[in-house]
């Protein structure tokens, strides 16, 4: 088995790390303070093929693989989980359904501009009364002449307040639970589509998250993804498998950032006459953290590779997200503990990673849902 990154992957890692350090890091403090995403990054990253690195070159992407995608997410999350949140929605949830199931016209109108960073995308699935049970959504799309009339509410939508379009999930046939779902591309400015409010979160402040309203919102039939009514649930499931692998990289990047901050702090913090990194308790914690980061990264890359081979990794993708997200919670707890009282102060960046990382066991499928998926896949 070859555990080495390809030369292309190594070159990409160096390039995206330099970009994140030079262009993104200086924007973090202001973005966190204002709660505004630095939208200029979409075009900047699009121009260099960083925004959607695994889509084909002819569409404006980076021409890479799923590992390339994971490298991008890990390196950006090391700098800011919030900023990376907006980017990873663009590179996955908001574009993959169009890339895999959309028409050529949809790809021309929405996918290519999104890959270039000229349009910002969002993905509208979660509703006030529908979270883990995605099949229980209430948003309806009723056929009306040459279009559909959408009515419903979406919540916790990353990029919602700043999006140029949202891939909205709705029932065309609510009598068929799950099966009667379709995905629709709804453009900003469409009558009846509005952002009800921008949501304020515990962490990931740089990511703009909102509540979206569809009220008698008329969408052209050609904006439905897929050639027939129904089948949207399978499109969602396929998109989420890819996203769960990406979450392994998101957790790894956050853990890496917390580890680096803690190593530096422990070497500088003097207690009882010596740096606290000299004490066995601190050494053991850091050794365990370093070990778990290597496991998280290796596991993520392996399943990303299998995904690229076209293998069914529904179980393994759930395992990646479950293990990485839960392991991250222990890592963040230990790094906060090593920082002591200073870690609880807002002026120390470790608290930001601690707050940001808490989300990862919840979003895009809770840890409980991952356990259900794994249990089903192993025959329980």
Does residue 34 carry a pLDDT above 80?
yes
Q: Residues 239, 370: one domain?
A: yes
Report the percent of the chain where pLDDT is more than 70: 100
In this structure, the number of other CB atoms found within 10 A of the CB of residue 13 comes to: 17
Q: Residues 241, 369: one domain?
A: yes
Q: In the predicted model, what is the mean pLDDT of the chain?
A: 96
Residues 250-259 have a mean pLDDT of 98
Q: Residues 211, 273: one domain?
A: no
What is the span of the domain harbouring residue 104?
A: 7-116
Q: Residues 257, 313: one domain?
A: yes
Residue-wise pLDDT for 343-352, tens only, equals: 999 999 999 9
1 in any annotated domain: no
317: domain CATH number? 1.20.140.10
Distance CA 217, CA 337 (A): 50
249 in any annotated domain: yes
Q: Residues 97, 138: one domain?
A: no
Residue-wise pLDDT for 151-201, tens only, equals: 999 999 999 999 999 999 999 999 999 899 999 999 999 999 999 999 999
Boundary-marking domain end, from 116, 135, 168 = 116
97: domain CATH number? 1.10.540.10
Residue-wise pLDDT for 217-239, tens only, equals: 999 999 999 999 998 999 999 99
Of 130-139, 232-241, 242-251, the range with the highest mean pLDDT is 242-251
How many structural domains are present in the chain? 3
Q: Residues 99, 156: one domain?
A: no
2 in any annotated domain: no
150 in any annotated domain: yes
Q: Which residue has the tokens 């500088």?
A: 268
Does residue 1 carry a pLDDT above 70?
no
Boundary-marking domain end, from 190, 206, 229 = 229
pTM summary value? 0.95
Q: Residues 149, 107: one domain?
A: no
CA distances from 378 to 318, 372, 374 (A): 12, 10, 6
Boundary-marking domain end, from 181, 213, 229 = 229
125 in any annotated domain: yes
- For the annotated catalytic residues, the residue numbers are 364
């Amino acid at each position: 088995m070859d555990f080495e990154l390809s030369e292309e992957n190594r070159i990409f890692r160096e390039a995206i790390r330099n970009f994140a350090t030079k262009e993104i890091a200086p924007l973090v403090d202001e973005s966190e303070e204002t709660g505004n995403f630095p939208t200029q990054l979409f075009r900047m990253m699009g121009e260099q093929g960083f925004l959607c690195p695994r889509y084909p070159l002819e569409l404006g992407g980076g021409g890479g693989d799923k590992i390339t995608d994971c490298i991008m997410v890990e390196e950006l999350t090391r700098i800011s989980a919030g900023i990376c949140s907006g980017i990873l929605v663009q590179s996955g949830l908001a574009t993959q359904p169009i890339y895999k199931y959309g028409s050529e016209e949809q790809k021309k109108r929405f996918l290519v501009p999104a890959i270039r960073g000229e349009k910002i995308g969002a993905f509208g699935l979660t509703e006030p009364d529908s979270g883990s049970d995605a099949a229980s959504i209430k948003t309806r799309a009723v056929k009306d002449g040459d279009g559909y009339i959408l009515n419903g509410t979406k919540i916790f939508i990353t990029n919602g307040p700043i999006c140029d379009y949202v891939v909205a999930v709705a029932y065309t046939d609510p009598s068929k639970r799950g099966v009667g779902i379709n995905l629709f591309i709804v453009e900003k400015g469409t009558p009846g589509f509005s952002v009800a409010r921008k949501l304020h979160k515990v962490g990931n402040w740089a990511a703009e998250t909102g509540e979206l309203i569809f009220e008698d919102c008329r969408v052209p039939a050609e904006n439905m993804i897929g050639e027939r009514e129904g089948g949207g649930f399978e499109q969602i499931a396929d998109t989420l498998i890819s996203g769960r692998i990406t979450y392994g990289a998101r957790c790894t990047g956050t853990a890496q950032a917390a580890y680096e901050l803690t190593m530096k702090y422990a070497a500088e913090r003097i207690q009882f006459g010596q740096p606290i990194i000299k004490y066995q308790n601190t050494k053991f914690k850091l050794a365990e953290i370093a070990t778990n980061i290597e496991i998280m990264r290796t596991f993520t890359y392996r399943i990303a590779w299998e995904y690229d081979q076209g293998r069914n990794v529904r179980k393994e993708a759930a395992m990646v997200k479950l293990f990485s997200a839960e392991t991250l919670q222990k890592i963040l707890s230990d790094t906060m503990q090593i920082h002591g009282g200073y870690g609880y102060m807002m002026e120390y960046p470790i608290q930001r990673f601690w707050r940001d990382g808490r989300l990862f066991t919840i979003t895009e499928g809770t840890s409980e849902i991952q356990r259900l998926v794994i249990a089903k896949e192993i025959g329980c």
